[in-house]
Structure 1
Amino acid sequence: MSDSSLFEDWFVALFKEGARFEVSLAGVASRMRAQRGWVAKLHSQSEHLLYFVAEGAFDAQMGGETRRIITGDLLWGARGTLLDYSKQQDEELVVWRFRLKAMDENDNFLPFERPYLHLQGARECEKWINHIVDEASEPGTHSEARMRGLLACLLSEIIRHQQDENERGKLSRAQRAIVRRVLIETNFSVGARELAEAVSLTPDYFSRCFRHTFGVAPRNFVLQERLKMAALRLLESPQTVSEIAHDLGYRDIFLFSRQFKAHFGQSPTQYRTAHSAIELPNTRRITN
């Protein structure tokens, strides 16, 4: 599940009838300034911890992974997550932060499937965090309806940011269509450099976008599609295995057979025999 879908589900659960939440600054300064050498350990069993870096940067240790949190970043630590922070640089660190406790209609903690969420360049979230912190800084005076509205705006902004982030660095629909067309026209015998040229991208950037879009490197994708086409031709055409391999750009029939067997678990000949349509015996139609 993507982070944006995860947040959408959590958003719906949080604003479901009977659910409730509490926003507080207890034990967390609303606007923190830290000097060089600052180290902190935070572990909340009942509340989510939300940080927005207004100035400076710090390192966050989360689940065995160290992340650099810089100006404009938002860090969401889910309930029960241990977060270690440290700062070594001389520049000033300014962070807006607050705690969020969320319960469902049965007074159970709302589950959140990720231990933390790191949004890079989330400046658009800052104004809502500032409003929430201002509202929570005066206990007993803030409106529950207003706080609910501010929190809804913040979560909506996080969802939108995640959706935008998920699309960044991906090939557009038009570029994907061009890639498919070039692959088909060349019988899947084209390389990443030629595909990059077809969509007017540098080879390195194209490879990154391609992997982000399809989940595999261009070379592996082309190989998979070429073998799928070979399997289709084995079943639908009278061509020999050698002819099919040659048409799909293979100069070495043995290489084709090895790759085909590695992908499908059978040699091309075995695959054709096992998957060919079974001819049914002639049957006589019975009439009264």
Structure 2
Amino acid sequence: MQALALLIGLFLLGATAQSATAATGAPTPAPAASTTAQAVTAVAPTGKTIGCGGIDNLFTIPRVTGVQYLVNGDVLPPNDYLVSDYSTDGSVLVTARAATGFTLAGKTSWSLTIAAPECTPPTVTPKCGGFTVTNRASYAIGFSWGAHGSPVSDGYYPTIAPGATKTVTTKRSALDYSYAPADDGMEFSISQLTVPQNCAAPTPTTTAPVVPPTSTATAPAGTNTTGPAIITDGPADGGHLNGLLLSGGLACALGAALTGVGLRRRLTR
């Protein structure tokens, strides 16, 4: 009987407590949530030019706890992004906002203009059995060459410094070459090149020595220096000389005739 009375008493005690809770209608209050947000400051995004032409320029979204960065309305996680994917003129507007539970202090927007220098092709000069490459750009370039139309390169210079010249020797008469900024790694341009082969050595030319002209004495005008004297008509004194010469010739002829007659006489005796 005592045990039964104890059970009835416990039952009545629990029912009384439940009735009191129902009468008040007040549940057990939950712990109060903190209403103080953490203040954070955004770090500015950065841009980077790669090579030339701006094709592969990048901008970087930093990692900052409690800060979200947006470009063109899209939230971008921390990473590197191509400028060309978000802009056509190299300019990108980046804004920042606070994540839930944070408040943002300091600057909240940045306008980035990431402009690379114009691309400057190298100077490629063919010569017999090869060619030379001169980098005329203000940045280092990579350079490769190979058979015309082939995807496989014969050789590659990963870095040619600004102003530097490299010499390539090849047995190919027709080849393709390409170049790109050294820190890009992407093929930028392909051009064709003709290389002369089996070049004949130039034939030396000989020049005959110059012989100075010989001087010849000049005879006075009217003088015959190549044969016997020629008797011509002339002035009075010349006529006198011609007369003397004619007389002498006749005397010689007469003497010869007389001598011939005497000789003939001797032979007929």
Higher radius of gyration, 1 or 2: 2
Q: Above 0.5 in TM-score?
A: no
Q: Which one has the bigger strand percentage?
A: 2
Instruction: Say which structure, 1 or 2, has more relative contact order (CA 8 Å, 6+ apart).
Output: 1
Q: TM-score, normalised by structure 2?
A: 0.22
TM-score (norm. length: structure 1): 0.21
